[in-house]
Every structure is written in C-alpha cells, then in structure tokens.
Structure 1
C-alpha cells in the first residue's frame, strides 16, 4: 500500500512538471540556506567544547567601578589563582595564562614575529584544557624556566618535522634559547584563544601581589563536579575584600565610601566566545546577537519555502478537485487521500533536500569567505547532518503538505462533480494570509538590509577627528636598536609628509587605562597614551586650545595633552591650559601640566562613546612607525621605504599596513554580516517571488475563460494585466503595513549598539515597500501578460 502511495504520487508530480519544478527549486534553495546557516550557528555554539572538562572550566572576571565608571576585565589580580587552589575546596585546580608581547623567534637568518599566538602559562594548563601532547610529558613540560611547548604546525614550520623534543628556539626578544619540551596538537579553531607557543613563566609568580593591582593574567579554574558556583563566587569576593582591607597601596575605606568596588565573577568557558567582550581578552570573540539573527533568518527562509509549497498546492485545488471527487466516488477514504498528498509532499521535500546538500556543499567555500569561517562537511558532520536532514524532510514534508492534504481531501464528491468548488485566487483566505506572511518576512529583511548598509556607510564616511587616509604603518619597529634613526631617514624621502613613533593609534588595539588625579581630586579612569612630538600633526588631529608637543620645549617632558572629553570630565571646560594632573601613588607621584586640548577623535569602535584620554611625551617600547605619505607615486615611495628599512634592519621582516585598512578591520564583522544579510535577503525575495510566480500562473490558468471573454469584448492587454495583478499587489501592500513597524523597532534596537549611528530614514522604509510592490508586480506581470496576450479563440475552445 505504501509503495502504491509513492508510485501514484510520483506519477502525479511528473504530470505537473512546472508545479513540481517550482516547488523543488524553492524548497531546495530554502533548505540550502538553512543548512549553511546551521553550519555557522553550530560552529559558533561549539567554541571551547573540545575540552573534555568544558562543563567544569570557568574564567574569573573582574569588574571595577571607580569614579562612577564601570570597567569590565577578563583578567584578575595575581593572588586570585592561589586563593582558589588553597582556600576553596570546590576547586580542583586553577591556572594563569597571559599573552606574550613582542615575540620574535629566529628561523635561520629570518626573524619571525609570533604575537597573538604565544602565551606564558603555568605548568598545570594541561590539567585544565584538553591540549594533547604528541610528544613530551604534560606534567613536567613547563616546570623548568626557558622551556616551551609548541604546536605541531609550528614544529613543521621551524624544523620541517614533528618530533622536535630537545631542540631549541631562539627568542630574539629576550636573547634567550628556549628548550622545546613538548609538541601539542594544533588547537581547534573553535577556541576563544589560539596558542601555538606555550612558554614557561620566567620566574615564580608572587602570590602576595596587591589585590587592587590587576595584571595581564587570565585566571581559569577547573571546578570539582557539582560545585556550587554562587557559593564559590561569594567566598572568592570575601577573600578579595579582606585582601583589599590589608592593602598598603590603597585606602580601602575611602575607596568604598566613594561608591567604588572590585567584584569577581565566574564565566563558563563555553560562554566566552559569544558573551564576553571585556578588556584584555585573549582573542577576538564573536557576538551572540548574530547567532540569534541568522537563526531567525534560517527559520524565516525555510518558512517561505514551505509557504510556497502550501500556496501552490491549494492553488491547484481546482485542477485536482475532480480527481478527488472521482477517487471518493470509487471508494477512497479521506485517510487514503491524505496519505496520498503527504506522499507527494515527502517526495518533493526529499528531492529538494538532496539538491540542497549538494548546493550547500558547492556554496560552502564562498560562505566561508564571506563569514571568515573554516567550515567543512566531513564524516563527523555527517553523523549529525544525515539524521537532521531526515528529520527536516519528515517535518518540512508533513508541515508543507499538511494543509493541502487536509484541504483537498475534504472536498465533497457531489460538490466537485457539480462544479461548485471555488476556483481562482479569490476566496483563498488562508492562501492570501500566507502570501501576506511571506512578503512581510521579505520586506522585513529588505528594511533590515538597507538599515545595515546605511550604518556601515555612515561608519565609513564619518569624521572621526583624525585623518586615516594615506597613512602607512610599519610594524616590528620596536625590534630595532635605534627606531628614531629609521624615522629620521624615512622623513627625508620624497613623498613623506611626516612620521610618528608610537603604538597608540586610533585604529590599533593597544589601549592602556590609567588613573589620574586632576588638580588633586579623586582619581579618574582615562586612556593614557605615550606619543612623540610629531604624533598629532601626522594623525591629522586638531588642537582646540593651547598647543601640541614640541622638541623646542624641555618642559614638555612633564607636559600633557588631553582630549575635549577629559577636559569636560575633569571639570576644566575651556580653561584646561596650565592645570596640573597627577599620576601614580604617593611613592611614585608624577605631576603633569596641561599644554593643549585636542579635539575629540574616535580611538575605539563607533559602538562606544569617546572617553577621557591623556597623552604624554614619552618613548613607547612597543612603538610602530606611522608615516603620512603622498600617494601620487606610491610604488616608488614604497620601494624607497623598504630600501631604507633593509639598510637599517637587514634581518628584520618588512611588514606594513595602511591605517584606512586597519580602520575597516574594526568593523569587519559588521561588514561580513552585512554582506551575508544582503545575500540572504536577496534569496528570500527570490523564494517569495518564485511562489508568487507560480500562484500567478495558476490564477491566470483558472481564469482562462474569463480572460478570453474579456478580450473578445474589447479589453486591452493592460486592463487584463491590471485585473490579474491587483489582488496580489494589494496583499503585498498589506505585508508592508505589517512589516514596516516591526522592522523599524527591531533595527532601531540593533542601532542602539552603536554610540554613533545613522537614524533610520523614512525613505528607507518607503523604498523597501515600493521595491517589494514593484518586484511583486513584475513577477506577476510576466505570467499575466502571457495570459492576456494569448489567442482568446484557443482559451474559449479549451474551456468548451
């Protein structure tokens, strides 16, 4: 019996090839997009789950509120780890990890920079994280000073083989040789930090360091099974309070009386990637908002494809009504008819799913490029993909075919055979509701896409308070013995306007918070940048009051330039010049005098407001050389700069970037998500139009005789096209009225995440609505014009 259902269903589908093709393509497209988004979401949600004990691994975070400003850190004070291990029975162990800065290894005669993937760690890191060693002993690998564990790919990079135990790596930064004591498997991409090198700490960590002095150490804790998280946090904060009270470097009572506080909290390691955006993160994290958005898009697009199927199936009700009537007269029960129509739906869904898998596989490289992912379909993927696809086929097949099955099988034979079944588009209330829902989703996505595009365009063109164009940045300058010499030689080159030595750039990640006391007042949290006398002019910044630094004034060694926000927060207003600002504690107090106020410039993402910033004249040991250039003859200038570099640093790698590209990198995630959103929106509209095209075809077919009569009576093609299109266009207009306010509310909330944003323009909403109507009208008109242009004699003859 079951075989007969599918056999009959297959014959019916082949008989109606146009209907079958539209349904399969629509469903395949929807399922392919859904699969790609599922790969993306699954990847985002799987971060750090490679750790066998991931459910028991937590990171300790620090919240510091000082002078009304709350700062959230991904690091802790040094004593925290020791307290966790010695005072908290819920804890199995705790480990401290910190990035190693300015790391350069020697590879033959070449010096290779390995910042970002090199970390100092305590020996017990292998007890917390799952980092399998291919060779070496995890218990002793990092116990001795000047030892290192490297990733397998790094072993091949530096030694062209994996077995390198006992070999040495020369660390140029410190001039020491590191003994390789272990080779570990490359860490998975799905990790909130990627370590290619784990270095032993240079010396034992002083666990008696002050509790109020945050260091660069990220502290991770491995809890015992069934540990009480809330109780542990309370105990840990109590220990911190006791430590702060006994501190010799701060007045804790005065600190608390001002409404200030330190607070420690535990964050599951699996939450870090999507839910943490704190200062001093070990790596670049994702954004849970995009996971929610794309999950919703996947569901919406799949719904669009299902709605297409339901609409087209019910639209064909007239052409299949006689079939149902005859079947019922011949003894078929409603149950058998329902199974028959569900079988057709399942066949279409299955074929669409197979096509979708191959389409997703073919589109995966493009999707990886757009999303900056490394997604692959492999044997491990198949373990969940095949069951998931089977479930989708059944769920979507039943969902998409349920209404047509129950609708068609409910026809009464006597009404069908008498021709009393309503035909055409009119009278299909449920079908009209689905069209409205379908285009509401499409218009919602169009408005969202336009808002995202406008915001990204606004970011690209906003006046940031500095000129990021035509600025070349040379990296690795801090490796030179005399970086000032390089600066002076490059400034002599034709085409070089100015140059500055510092790592504190508006587009860089090097941000340093400090606490300053303006005029002896309570400390204020500020950005504290070390720059040279050429910085402000090279960056194209503007001085509002006073002057910038100058080598002609010896007193500038104790001078300070502040931004407008700092002048306002410090209470100086327009009278900041000459004011005194202190830094440090009583033991190392240093006094600065303000010589200038620079106009506010955005030195962080436009997600954040400009905060107080102070700049002092000082050398920066992590300095990079920023060069403002004339790009009229860029190739010759770049050749000259590289030649100068090779003359001064023949063994150092010449590495550079342009500031405008670095600025774009700050918003690369938004740009990638924007591109994907545009593509998905376009595909959603295509799916909706595909269904509308099919509906228009059946509406025209069912009104074939009416069209013929109207033409005989003198109706024009334009009048007939209008008649066939107006009902559909009316539904699209209703969709706009529903989608517009919802899209405005949703996108307005998304824009709240930007401190500097472009308000939603009225024309964006109108353009989306008008575009949807035009697209729908064009889609419908293609079929309507064809029906209107047909010979009425043929249509009337067929009707007879």
Structure 2
C-alpha cells in the first residue's frame, strides 16, 4: 500500500514539474535560510559554555554610573580565603599592562631572526586552570604557572615558533634578547566561542618578582580582571550582597561612602560568565561582545521565513487543486476514502519537503563561504550530525504544510468535481487571503527593519562627532622607551611629504577610557566621575577639537604639566553656575591624587560609541604616558606616503613592526555588531520576500484557473487589457496594502525600541515605510505580470469551446 502511495505521489510530482519545482525551491530556500541563521544563533548562545559547570563561573565587576569589568588584583585570592562558597578564583591582565585590555610585545626564537609582535599575552594567577577549562596538550597544568620563568603557549604558536619540534623546554625571547622564558606547556587553541582569547600565558609570579610593591597589585588599583568559580549550588546573589561590607577589611571606606554607594546602588557585582558575550556592555571588556537583541531579531527573521515557506506550500498546493479536481472525483467515485486521499496528499507533501531538504543542503553548501564572510565566523557544517534533524524537519514541515491542502482536497464532493467545478467556500478563500496578508506583513516588517538598521548604521558612521576623523592614521606605540625621543620623531615625521600634524595620546576616540573622580578644591565633597586622557601639545590640533573657554596647552608655559583641560560636560557638572576656568581641582588618580588648575574647556565631542551619551572628560599634559601616535596625512598618493612614514618609524623603532589604521575605520568598528546584523537581515529579508512571491504566484495561479472562462467571456465582449489587469491584480494589491497597513505600526514599534539602545539615533519617518511598501507592491506586480500577460494572450475560442 505504501509503495502504491509513493508511486502515485512521484508520478504526480513528475507530471506537474513546474508546480513541483516552485514548491521544492520555495521550501528549500526557507529551510536553508533557517538553518544558516540557526547555526549563527547557536554559536552566539554557546559562548563560554564549554567550561565545566559554566553556571558556577562569575566575573567580578564594579558598578557605578559607568560600570566596568576591572577590579583590584588581590580580590581573587582574598575571596577564596574568606568565603567557603568560593571554590577557586583567578586574577588576570595583559602582560606588563595592568589597567589595559591589550599590550603588544615582541617575541622571537633565540636561534632565529624572525621577530613577531604579539598582543595576546596574559599574566595570570597560578589558579587559572582551576577556574577555566582550557585543555593542556603538553605539560602539567598544576605546576606550569608556578615556574617563575615559564611561559605557556597555544598549539598555533607552537607551530609558528617551533614548527614540528617539541617546544617543551625551548626558549622564547620577550622584547629583548636577554629576557628569555622557557616553554613549560602547550594548550589547545582557545575556541572562537570564548569571551576572551590568548596565545600565551605567563604567571603573575614573574611580574611580581621584578616589582613586588607595585601599586598595580594593591587593593587601590582597579586594573585587573577577576573571576571566581563558586561551589556548585552556592547562592551567587547572597555572596554578592556581602562583598561591599567584606571589602572594608582591605580598603578604607568611610561610613559616609558606604551610605553614598548604597544610595546610588554602587558596588561589586558577580556577573555570570556565560552571559558576558551577549549581555555585557561594561567598560574595559577584554573583547567586543555581541548583543542579545540582535539574536532575537535574527531568530524572529528565521521563524518568519519558515512560516512564509510553509504557508507558500499550502497556497501552492491548493492553487493546483483545480487541475486535480477530476482525479480526486474519480478516486472518490471508485470508493477512495477521505483518509486515504488525505494520506496520499500528505505523502506528496513529505516527499516535496524531503526533496526541499536535499536542495537546501546544496544551497547551504554553496552559500556557506558568503555566509562566513557575512558573519565573520568560519562555520563548517557536518551534515551527518544534522541529518536526523533535517529529516525530522522535512517530515514535520511536510505534515504541517500539507495538512490543510489534504483535508481541503479530500473533502470536495465528487459530483461537483466531475462537472469540472471546484467548490470554493468563503471560509477557505478567506483563509488563503489571510495567509497572503500574513506573509507580506512579515516581509514588510523585515524589509523596513533592515532599512532602519542600515539607516542607523549609516548615521553612526557619518555623524559629525565634534572632531576631525578623516585622513588621520593611528599608530600603536609598542615600546614605551621610544617615547623619550618623541619630539625628534615628530619633527622628522613633519618633514615627510603629506604629513600636516603629529600628536600622541594615552587614548583615542573609540577606545576604552580610564576613569577617576574629580572635584573642585573648594567643594571636595562633590565629585564627578570623569574619563581621562594624557595628551601632548598638538593633540587638539590634530583632531580639530575647538576651544570654548580658556586656552590649550602651550610649550612655552612650563607650568602646563600641572594644568587641566576639561570638556564642556565635565565643566558643567563640576561648576553648574559659573566658569570652571582658573579653578583648582583634585584629580583622584592612581597612585595618589593630583591637584591641577583648569586652563581651558574644549567643545564636547563623542569620544565613545554613539550608544553612549557624552561623558565628562579630562585632559592632562604628558611627555611619555602614551599608547597611540596620531598623524594627519593627505591620502593622495597614499601608498608612497605611508611607505615614507613607515621608514621614519623604523628609524626610531627598529625592534617592533609597523602597524597603522585609519581613525575613521577604528571608530566604525564600534558598530560591527550593527553592521553584521543589518547585512544578515537584509539578505534574509530579500529571501523572505522571494519566498512570499512564490506564494503569491500560487494564489495568482489559483485565481487564473478559477477565472479563465470569465476572462474568455470578457475578451469576447471586448474587455480592454487594462480591465483584465485590474481583474487579476486588484484583489492582490488590496491584500498587499492591508499587509503594509498591519506591518507598519508593528515595525515602527519594534525598531523604535531597538533605537533606544543608542544615545544618538535617526528618527523613524514615514518615507521608510512608503519605500518599503513600494518595494513590496512593485515586486508583487512583477510576480503577477506572468498571468496578466497570459490573460492578454488568451484565445477565448480555446477556453469556451468546452461550454
């Protein structure tokens, strides 16, 4: 019996090749789209879950009006000693760079000339492998970090520096030929779905041996990343509630400060590690994070695309029912039961779905390289792993999509069918129209959302930030010793063709800024948390930052090294009722507070992502505490000019490699998540619209066959092509306009909520929806044009001869 069902089903599918083709490809694009989005979403949700019992892992953070990830180094060990519910803890930071998230070092094999700049080197406590599960391939994880002169390297770095040799016991030179470290272990490369990555590990014991009393290891320095592993079942919230009182054992906090912190909900927090990638937006993240809202958006896009694909199948199958009316009538006259007919149609549906899965695999395989480029992630699909899921999906989709056509067709009365007529109930017609409205409402929502996301991204990338970001290149400083010759470097660089300005700073717009409190000396009780940057004399000139009041730093004023410049926001918060210029402030920086006089106020500019409002910012003059060189260069003949700049760089820095980036590109990287989501959504919105048009094609086919005799009569009576166009397009256009009317407020509401993530945003205006609606109507008319052309070319004699 089953063989008979399959045989009939295959014969019918082959007989109706066009119908089968449309059905299979509509479903296959839907399945492929959902599959690709699903593997991306699964990747985003999998971050840090490869660790043993990831629910017990937490990062210690500090929450105030601008929360951050960094906390004091001694916290980790103290937590283990003082709280029995803490199983283990670890502190980490970039090598020799507490207070930063990355620092570059020069490494080489002692017997080789090649030198490499490496930035993924972490200093960690000896407890690192008690907290995290990064597999050790060679060496002993229990003792490796206890060796003062040891270094642990990844398997990729082992191949890079030592080839096929066993690296254990070999040496690497760090920064200088005399600073040799021994390779004591090799660990497996950190997986992509980790919220931080590293290629080298060095024990804090090594750093501390050089300067045991360094302020960077004190309770007063918030410059390290601390993680704890709680005992399974421990109450993290309960522990978190004890932290502020407990830390008073180690940090001198007054009762007044405690009350102030409590009133403002400031304090230490335990942040689940598994939530960091998608839910953390703190200062000083080790790496750029994702966004859970974008996961929701893409998940909705995947679900809607699948719904559209399934609805298409139902409509297309129903549309074809007119041509199968007599077949159904004959079968029912010969005694076929309704259940048998239903099962027959379900078998056909499942076969189509199975074919669609096979085609979807080809689509996935061919589009995977582009999808990898789109997401920036290298996905490899192991189909054997997904085969049971894909087959299950095919069967479920086949049954769900085929259940309505099966029940509808098997219920038709044979007497009416054999007269060549197919009963169309108002209920069935209304359902199909409703499904068309649903499809195009979804398409309209996706299209308008993609437009708004890309419009916001364009706004973020081109907004006037209050400083000159064009034609400015940024060179990271890799060797602090070279800064003592910076004046000579700048003078030589200014002689280079095309270079108009050279400056240096501890930070640049778009990067993470350190923050401390400032206060007027006359009102020390009123503090303002301010970001800070150490700059040279030419920083403001290089970026074209304007002065509002007072003056810039000047070389002829030796006392300027104790002077301060503020942005407008800092000045306004410090002195709401009057000018702050000329007033003395206390800058509570590490290791001790500094007093300085405000000599100028610069115009506010966006030094952070446009997700954030402009915050207070302090500038102090420095001669050597820099991390970046900024060079204004004319980009005409850029290849020649950057080559000349590199030559000057190597004259002053022969050890480290030359790297540069345009400041504008650095700023745009802040919006990588928005750019990625907008690109993915645009592509899959187009696919969803394409699939919806398959459904529209099916409904048009149904209408055409229903009205084919009416069209013939109208043509005999002299109907114009325009009247035939209205007959075929009018009803569908009305449905699409209804879909636009439904989708517009829904899309407006969703995207308005999304835009609230940004302090600076575009306004959602009607033209976005007018344009999206126009695209929808235009594409649907193009889809329907096939049947309007057929109607105009129809020979009425051929149609009416059966009457």
- Give the alignment's TM-score, normalised by structure 2: 0.93
Give CA deviations for 1:682-710 in whole Å, capped at 9, x if unaligned: 11111111221232133213322211111
Pair 1:731-2:735 in alignment: yes
Q: Which moved more, 1:36-45 or 1:570-579?
A: 570-579
Give CA deviations for 1:571-611 in whole Å, capped at 9, x if unaligned: 24662221221113899442211111111111111110000
Conserved in 2, the CA contact under 8 Å of 1:105 and 1:169?
A: no
Pair 1:540-2:581 in alignment: no
Conserved in 1, the CA contact under 8 Å of 2:537 and 2:555?
A: yes
Aligned partner of residue 220 in structure 2, secondary structure: coil
Q: Which moved more, 1:357-366 or 1:723-732?
A: 357-366
Aligned counterpart in structure 2 of residue 90 of structure 1, from 85, 94, 105: 85
Q: Which moved more, 1:571-580 or 1:333-342?
A: 571-580
Pair 1:784-2:788 in alignment: yes
Pair 1:50-2:57 in alignment: no
Cα offset for 1:426? 10
Aligned counterpart in structure 2 of residue 193 of structure 1, from 190, 196, 200: 196
Give CA deviations for 1:328-355 in whole Å, capped at 9, x if unaligned: 2211111111111110100000000111
Conserved in 2, the CA contact under 8 Å of 1:26 and 1:687?
A: yes
Conserved in 2, the CA contact under 8 Å of 1:106 and 1:169?
A: yes
Q: Distance in 1 between matches of 2:624 and 2:292?
A: 36
Equivalent residue for 1:72? 67
Give CA deviations for 1:34-75 in whole Å, capped at 9, x if unaligned: 110011011111112222332432222332x3xxxx232223
Give CA deviations for 1:729-772 in whole Å, capped at 9, x if unaligned: 11001101100000000000111111000110111111212221
Pair 1:612-2:607 in alignment: no
C-alpha spacing 1:226/1:382, structure 2 compared with 1 (3 Å): farther
Q: Distance in 2 between matches of 1:690 and 1:623?
A: 57
Equivalent residue for 2:423? 422
Conserved in 1, the CA contact under 8 Å of 2:215 and 2:221?
A: no
RMSD: 2.4
C-alpha spacing 1:420/1:791, structure 2 compared with 1 (3 Å): closer
Conserved in 2, the CA contact under 8 Å of 1:211 and 1:247?
A: no
Cα offset for 1:206? 8.4
Q: Which moved more, 1:166-175 or 1:560-569?
A: 166-175
C-alpha spacing 1:120/1:587, structure 2 compared with 1 (3 Å): closer
Aligned partner of residue 628 in structure 1, secondary structure: strand
Equivalent residue for 1:746? 750
Equivalent residue for 1:16? 16
Conserved in 2, the CA contact under 8 Å of 1:47 and 1:190?
A: yes
Q: Distance in 2 between matches of 1:54 and 1:170?
A: 36
Aligned partner of residue 71 in structure 1, secondary structure: coil
Aligned partner of residue 636 in structure 1, secondary structure: helix
Q: Distance in 1 between matches of 2:213 and 2:52?
A: 30
Equivalent residue for 1:299? 303
Conserved in 2, the CA contact under 8 Å of 1:135 and 1:163?
A: no
Conserved in 2, the CA contact under 8 Å of 1:79 and 1:209?
A: no
C-alpha spacing 1:437/1:714, structure 2 compared with 1 (3 Å): same
Q: Distance in 2 between matches of 1:30 and 1:577?
A: 63
Equivalent residue for 1:593? 597
Q: Distance in 2 between matches of 1:195 and 1:587?
A: 29
Pair 1:555-2:550 in alignment: no
Q: Distance in 2 between matches of 1:300 and 1:599?
A: 47
Q: Distance in 1 between matches of 2:448 and 2:15?
A: 40
The count of aligned residue pairs is 785
Equivalent residue for 1:203? 208
Cα offset for 1:315? 2.0
Q: Which moved more, 1:787-796 or 1:440-449?
A: 787-796
Conserved in 1, the CA contact under 8 Å of 2:74 and 2:219?
A: no
Conserved in 1, the CA contact under 8 Å of 2:345 and 2:406?
A: yes
Equivalent residue for 1:25? 25
Equivalent residue for 2:100? none
Equivalent residue for 2:148? 145
Q: 1:598-747 alignment to 2 at 5 Å?
A: 598-747=602-751
Aligned counterpart in structure 2 of residue 155 of structure 1, from 155, 158, 163: 158
Cα offset for 1:163? 1.6
Pair 1:375-2:406 in alignment: no
C-alpha spacing 1:608/1:336, structure 2 compared with 1 (3 Å): same
Q: Distance in 2 between matches of 1:159 and 1:662?
A: 34
Q: Which moved more, 1:467-476 or 1:291-300?
A: 467-476
- Return 5+ residue gaps in structure 1 as ranges: none
Pair 1:130-2:136 in alignment: no
Aligned counterpart in structure 1 of residue 516 of structure 2, from 498, 514, 517: 514
C-alpha spacing 1:176/1:790, structure 2 compared with 1 (3 Å): same
Cα offset for 1:90? 2.4
C-alpha spacing 1:431/1:241, structure 2 compared with 1 (3 Å): same
Equivalent residue for 1:441? 442
Q: Which moved more, 1:122-131 or 1:566-575?
A: 566-575
C-alpha spacing 1:620/1:675, structure 2 compared with 1 (3 Å): farther
Equivalent residue for 2:771? 767
Cα offset for 1:314? 1.7
Pair 1:289-2:293 in alignment: yes
Equivalent residue for 2:235? 228
Equivalent residue for 1:182? 185
Pair 1:432-2:433 in alignment: yes
C-alpha spacing 1:73/1:666, structure 2 compared with 1 (3 Å): same
Q: Distance in 1 between matches of 2:400 and 2:590?
A: 73
Q: Distance in 1 between matches of 2:218 and 2:442?
A: 53
Q: 1:101-500 alignment to 2 at 5 Å?
A: 101=97, 102-107=103-108, 108-115=112-119, 117-161=120-164, 163-172=166-175, 176-201=179-204, 202-203=207-208, 213-234=220-241, 236-237=242-243, 240-244=244-248, 247-248=251-252, 250-257=253-260, 259-260=263-264, 262-378=266-382, 382-383=384-385, 385-418=386-419, 421-422=422-423, 428-476=429-477, 478-479=479-480, 481=482, 482-500=485-503
Q: Distance in 2 between matches of 1:277 and 1:174?
A: 40
Q: Distance in 2 between matches of 1:31 and 1:191?
A: 29
Q: Distance in 2 between matches of 1:245 and 1:104?
A: 37
Q: Distance in 2 between matches of 1:366 and 1:789?
A: 42
Cα offset for 1:122? 1.1
Q: Distance in 2 between matches of 1:246 and 1:510?
A: 28
Q: Which moved more, 1:333-342 or 1:218-227?
A: 218-227
Aligned partner of residue 29 in structure 2, secondary structure: helix
C-alpha spacing 1:596/1:59, structure 2 compared with 1 (3 Å): same
Q: Distance in 2 between matches of 1:51 and 1:586?
A: 35
Q: Distance in 2 between matches of 1:134 and 1:584?
A: 46
Q: Distance in 2 between matches of 1:210 and 1:119?
A: 15
Conserved in 2, the CA contact under 8 Å of 1:123 and 1:142?
A: yes
Q: Distance in 2 between matches of 1:280 and 1:754?
A: 19
Q: Distance in 2 between matches of 1:497 and 1:356?
A: 56
Give CA deviations for 1:705-731 in whole Å, capped at 9, x if unaligned: 211111111112222122111011110
C-alpha spacing 1:211/1:416, structure 2 compared with 1 (3 Å): farther
